Amino acid sequence: MIILSAKNLTKSFGKKIALSNVNVEIPRGRIIGLLGPNGSGKSTFLKLATGLLVPTEGEITIDGAIPGVETKAKTSYLAERTYLNGWMRAEDIIAFFEDFYEDFNRIKAENMLKELNINPSDRLKTMSKGTKEKVQLILIMSRSAELYLLDEPIGGVDPAARDYILNTIITNYKENASVIISTHLIADIEQVLDDIVFISKGEITMTSTVDEIREKYNKSVDGLFREVFKC
């Protein structure tokens, strides 16, 4: 069963082509790493999947439907930049999410805040960069979605919290849901991935399972990435 499908997907901003003729199918029940150097089109791809951007050519579908109200209800998206207001307290945002999303689980969110020692009555603007990121990831993973789109979820958090967050990701998605994680911190997340998609200059250059890469190249995905994208 396919949760996300892209056919001849192309996106350009004026003359600049961000994604060029991308064809990919993401099955359910997998954790996929969308891996590529800066400016390769990772965020553009995720924004197309959420409906924040519309394709210049081709199409992208979530569970068979073009991104819209219906797909947004089952897609949980962690944006690369926050869209939440600084004056909001963590508990305000929880209420906000509860209103917005039917599949939001308040108890889950509150438990995770507690486990990471984040005070629910703290305002977002008083939190460190890493704590802000944690709050947002907690909110995103507290939804019982079919598809999670995580744009750089671990960039700003310390290694200990990284482990917690990765565990949060692997334990919180439903069996038939999929998680797409875009990142360049490959070594840290490689163990939790099923599949990888290498993307470079707007084109998909490789799709494989993590263990296939290790078997075939005798290298970790991180090692292969460093070799393929060597500057």
Partner 1 sequence: MKWYIDSDRPIYKQLVEQIELRIISGVYSPGDKLGSVRDLAMDAGVNPNTMQKALAELERMDLVFAQRTSGRYITEDKKVIDEVKKALAFREIEQFFEKMKLLGFGKEEILKLIEKVEEGENSNDNTKR
Contacts to partner 1 by CB under 8 A: 29-31, 163, 166-167, 170-171, 187, 191-194, 210-211, 214-215, 218-220, 222-223
Tell me whether residue 19 or residue 145 sits nearer to partner 1 (CB atom). 145
Shortest distance, position 93 Cβ to partner 1, whole Å: 26
Tell me whether residue 109 or residue 166 sits nearer to partner 1 (CB atom). 166
Tell me whether residue 31 or residue 113 sits nearer to partner 1 (CB atom). 31
Shortest distance, position 45 Cβ to partner 1, whole Å: 21
Nearest to 71 by CA among 150, 140, 148, 136: 148
Task: Tell me phi and psi for residue 101, to 5 degrees.
Answer: -120, 125
Shortest distance, position 189 Cβ to partner 1, whole Å: 10
**Which residue(s) pair with 224 in the sheet?**
none
Tell me whether residue 123 or residue 162 sits nearer to partner 1 (CB atom). 162
Shortest distance, position 158 Cβ to partner 1, whole Å: 16
Separation of CA 30 from chain center: 13
Contact 123, 89 (CB under 8 A): yes
Classified as helix, coil or strand, 192 is helix
Q: Where are the beta strands (DSSP E) in 70-224?
A: 75-78, 147-151, 178-183, 195-200, 203-209
Sheet with 2-13: strands ordered across? 16-27, 2-13, 57-62
